[in-house]
Amino acid sequence: MSEQKLLQEILTYNQKFVDHHEYEKYETTKYPNKKMVILTCMDTRLLELLPKALNLGNGDAKIIKNAGALVSHPFGSIMRSILIAVYELQAQEVMVIAHHDCGMSGLKAEPVLKHMQEQGISEETLKTLAFSGINIKTWLHGFDNVADSVIHSVDIIKNHPLMPSHVPVHGLVINPKTGKLDLIIDGYQE
């Protein structure tokens, strides 16, 4: 299976990486040098581009990623991670960085549900979830406008009852090709 091949490839490479002490140039601490926590998207194009475009090296920032750079629930794991970064890991500023051409932009639940069923998720399972009060369509829905989505996520973070009011929360959108940042919300002005 291709998955097994990928895993083997990674483990073989990893052995050499460790044996040759290639980790030494990445040594740092768990505290961000630039005192910041970033929430961004899991998009593949941002893997190296985003840190390079922001002049971030290993150790400079805490980076949280999910699909769409969204804070969809004030007491979900994204918000918890941001709070832990602020209270326990010395982050003093928060940046939400979404991007143009995001997979979550315009994402509707229906095609995702169709793909789930094609891969063996039964109608019965979906019905059981619905009966349990889980609105799977809302949960899977992406966003319609990236800037509005950033404003919404910044708003949830900034106004969270457990977030200290002095922490600036910035909102930006990055171009996944050029790395150009558009400032949506300047957290120092809020």
- Name the residues that contact Zn ion, by CB under 5 A: 41, 43, 102
The one-letter code for the residue type at 133 is G
User: Of the two residues 33 and 105, which places its CB atom closer to Zn ion in the complex?
Assistant: 105
Q: How far is the CB of 121 from Zn ion (least distance, A)?
A: 24
- Check if the beta carbon of residue 37 is closer than 8 Å to that of residue 61: yes
User: Of the two residues 41 and 64, which places its CB atom closer to Zn ion in the complex?
Assistant: 41
Q: How far is the CB of 56 from Zn ion (least distance, A)?
A: 18
User: Of the two residues 36 and 41, which places its CB atom closer to Zn ion in the complex?
Assistant: 41
Q: How far is the CB of 102 from Zn ion (least distance, A)?
A: 3
Q: How far is the CB of 136 from Zn ion (least distance, A)?
A: 21
Q: How far is the CB of 150 from Zn ion (least distance, A)?
A: 12
- Check if the beta carbon of residue 170 is closer than 8 Å to that of residue 186: yes
User: Of the two residues 38 and 102, which places its CB atom closer to Zn ion in the complex?
Assistant: 102
- Ramachandran area for residue 100 (φ above 0: left; ψ -120 to 50: alpha; else beta): beta
User: Of the two residues 9 and 144, which places its CB atom closer to Zn ion in the complex?
Assistant: 144
**According to DSSP H, which parts of the chain are helical?**
2-19, 46-53, 77-88, 109-118, 123-131, 136-140, 146-158
Per-residue b or e along 47-61, where b marks 16 or more CB atoms closer than 10 Å to that residue's CB: eebbbebbebeeebb
Count of Cβ atoms closer than 10 Å to residue 135 Cβ: 11
